[in-house]
Amino acid sequence: MAPIVSVSNLVKTYGSGFQALKGVSLDIAEGEILALLGPNGAGKTTLISIICGIVNPSSGTVLVNGHDVVKDFRATRSIIGLVPQELTTDQFETVWNTVSFSRGLHGKKANPAHIEKVLRDLSLWDKKDNMLRELSGGMKRRVLIAKALSHEPRILFLDEPTAGVDVNLRKDMWKVVQALREDGVTIILTTHYIEEAEEIADRVGVINGGEILLIEEKSALMKTLGRKQLRIELAEPVTALPPGLEPYQLKLEDGGGRLIYDYDASGGRTGITTLLAAVAESGLRIKDISTRQSTLEDIFVELVEKRA
């Protein structure tokens, strides 16, 4: 199936001469949830802004549903919904008006029933006649989501949707995201929170310094880059490793009470069996054993550090 969003060799140089994107290429499949991870200033917002038509690209092309975002902007923008990173709202408008306005901008006829559904899903219904300045930050964020959903987009961009958002709203938000996904909506979100990407994304892209470092299925990513750790708790702490354990490059932790063994879980031979035999042979008594899967966070830190 042709990708719903196809970015190729995208470069953006801002007026100041700063190159925010250095030739980004990326395909997004219809219906998937893609998380873009990257530190501050990586270029996430710039990338989204170009796809949505807010910023002109310097070179390269972006196709959305087969249409060029610059030449054929009507076709592309009418199927995209965007929740921006910044909380920008018309302070003196009511929730209902501002959400209806967004629908009009996208060329759709008024549809009060749809707007009502969106507001109810986001627990905003009882606030519909309030002015935006009377709402809390979290509620304003919901309003921005409601605006983005007002015109029934097929692609939804969420630029750091959970910044400054409490646990409840986050849960609500993921519920909405899941429902959208079941309707076949493609969702692209940016985040700094790795747990978030791990929790809901199908694929994860890592972007830094205007370049995509990696983009992969989340599960494959975890598998290929996923290191595991074996932790052995000792009954009696040791001051130094017994000679027989040297080949395993163990780390001593917890004042000598714990041995840490890093291994590659995807490899055929993990070395655990021989390690455990060697531990027993050296006369150490094992109190407990646990393993730990490395998280996206570890992977991310590793990737960014490797490039630096």
Partner 1 sequence: MNVEAVKAIYLFEMARTRRTLLQSVVSPVISTSLYFIVFGAAVGSRIQEIDGVSYGAFITPGLIMLTLLTQCIGNGSFGIYFPKFTGTIYEILSSPISMTEIVLGYVGAAATKGMLVGLIILATASLFVDLSIAHPFVMLVFFVLTAVTFSLFGFLIGIWAKDFEQLNLIPMLVIPPLVFLGGSFYSVSMLPPFWQAVSHANPVLYLISGFRWSFFEISEVSPLVSFGIIIGFLAVLMGVLVWIFRTGYRLRN
Ligand X SMILES: Nc1ncnc2c1ncn2[C@@H]1O[C@H](COP(=O)(O)OP(=O)(O)OP(=O)(O)O)[C@@H](O)[C@H]1O
88 contributes a contact to ligand X by CB under 6 A: no
54 contributes a contact to partner 1 by CB under 8 A: yes
d(CA 246, CA 174): 47
CB of 197 to ligand X, least distance (A): 14
CB-CB contact of 36 with 200 (8 Å): no
Q: How many residues does the chain have?
A: 308
CB of 100 to partner 1, least distance (A): 8
How far, CA to CA in Å, does 220 sit from each of 178, 188, 206, 217, 223?
21, 19, 14, 5, 5
SS3 28: strand
CB of 122 to partner 1, least distance (A): 17
Contact with partner 1 (CB under 8 A) among 71, 109, 269, 306? 109
d(CA 183, CA 31): 8
Applying CB under 6 A, the span of 14-22, 115-123, 124-132, 214-222 interacting with ligand X comes to: 14-22
DSSP alpha helix (H) spans, the chain:
44-52, 73-77, 95-105, 112-121, 137-149, 167-182, 194-200, 218-225, 272-281, 296-307
45 contributes a contact to Mg ion by CB under 5 A: yes
Among ligand X, Mg ion, partner 1, none, partner that 106 touches (CB below 5 to 8 angstroms by kind): partner 1
13 contributes a contact to Mg ion by CB under 5 A: no
CB-CB contact of 186 with 32 (8 Å): yes
164 contributes a contact to ligand X by CB under 6 A: no
Contact with partner 1 (CB under 8 A) among 38, 43, 84, 226? 84
| Residue 62 φ then ψ, to 5° | -130, 125
* Residues at the site binding Mg ion, with contacts judged by CB under 5 A: 44-45, 85
* Residues at the site binding partner 1, with contacts judged by CB under 8 A: 14-15, 52-56, 73-78, 80, 82, 84, 86, 88-92, 97, 101-109, 147
* Residues at the site binding ligand X, with contacts judged by CB under 6 A: 14, 16, 18, 20, 38, 40-46, 85
